[in-house]
């Protein structure tokens, strides 16, 4: 949901979660932005967790916006300091977001918010407990079609992520041969969705050769 700059704030806490994109000038929720800070060497540093010290510079969470901010020297203008932005800054952000999303999956597994395996994932979908499906990008098409067909019939279809390979998922979850995974509905899934949506601005969530698109990706509030 977009937030207008003219929208009144119900609370100070709500106001603190809105920032201005230095590229478009639009005020929006922090969840739709990437925070950057000045590193000790004068380089622009992505701060995905929004915890690094220093004045934050906010850019919309998509590849075009970050590339434009770097090319037009908007980081230096905003900071009023001679900051340098690497030409590959969008790639840096994508790489860090991928790492963050995978790390969150590992935490979710340890917290009991994740289930893996064809049968368990199918059960989570059928019971309406699956908020997201994480399908290995290199998994067999037959198994994926069966899972997605089941998801298509759900009252509330889960979101779909297919950007990680089985080896990446296995490493993140401490398992072998991870093909089908479901992120169960709850607060953890909502927080994870924010990073997934930011990653979507830098990399497609589904491989190009996935022709079937039965599950529409969810947009979490």
Tens-place pLDDT, residues 122-146: 999 999 999 999 999 999 999 999 9
Task: Supply the pLDDT for residue 51.
Answer: 95
Residue 56 contacts residue 37 (beta carbons within 8 Å): yes
C-alpha span between 70 and 87 (Å, rounded): 7
Q: How far apart are CA 76 and CA 186, in angstroms?
A: 40
Does pLDDT of 49 surpass 60?
yes
Q: Is the pLDDT of residue 213 over 60?
A: no
pLDDT of 75-105, one tens digit each?
999 999 999 999 999 999 999 999 999 999 9
The answer on pLDDT for 180 being more than 60 is yes
pLDDT classification of 177: cutoffs 50, 70, 90: confident
Q: How far apart are CA 138 and CA 115, in angstroms?
A: 19
pLDDT value, residue 16: 53
Q: What is the DSSP string of 33-96?
A: EEEEEE-TTSBEEE-TTS-SSS--EEEESSHHHHHHHHHTTHHHHHHTS--B--TTHHHHHHHH
- pLDDT band of residue 202 (cuts 50, 70, 90) is very high
Question: Which helix (H) or strand (E) covers residue 195, if one does?
Answer: helix 187-200
d(CA 54, CA 190): 28
- In the chain, pLDDT over 90 holds for what percent of residues? 83
Average model confidence (pLDDT) across the chain: 89
Query: pTM to 2 decimals?
Result: 0.86
CA distance 36 to 48: 8
Query: Does the pLDDT at position 12 exceed 50?
Result: no
Q: For residue 181, which of 166, 200, 171 has the smallest C-alpha distance?
A: 166
**What pLDDT score does 210 carry?**
80
According to the model, what pLDDT value does residue 162 have?
Answer: 96
């Amino acid at each position: 949901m977009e937030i207008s700059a003219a929208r009144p704030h119900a609370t100070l806490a709500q106001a603190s979660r809105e920032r201005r994109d230095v590229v478009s000038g639009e005020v929006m929720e922090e969840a739709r932005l990437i925070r950057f800070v000045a590193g000790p060497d004068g380089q622009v540093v992505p701060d995905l967790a929004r915890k690094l010290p220093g004045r934050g510079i906010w850019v919309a969470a998509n590849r075009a916006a970050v590339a434009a901010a770097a090319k037009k020297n908007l980081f230096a203008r905003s900071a009023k300091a001679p900051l340098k932005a690497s030409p590959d800054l969008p790639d840096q952000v994508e790489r860090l977001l991928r790492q963050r999303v995978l790390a969150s999956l590992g935490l979710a597994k340890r917290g009991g918010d994740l289930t893996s395996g064809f049968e368990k994932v199918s059960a989570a979908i059928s019971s309406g407990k699956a908020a997201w499906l994480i399908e290995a990008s290199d998994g067999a098409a037959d198994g994926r079609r069966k899972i997605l067909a089941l998801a298509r019939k759900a009252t509330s279809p889960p979101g779909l992520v297919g950007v990680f390979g089985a080896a990446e998922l296995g490493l993140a979850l401490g398992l072998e041969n991870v093909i089908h995974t479901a992120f169960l509905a709850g607060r953890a899934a909502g927080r994870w969705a924010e990073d997934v949506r930011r990653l979507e601005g830098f990399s497609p969530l589904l491989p190009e050769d996935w022709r079937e698109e039965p599950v529409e990706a969810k947009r979490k509030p």
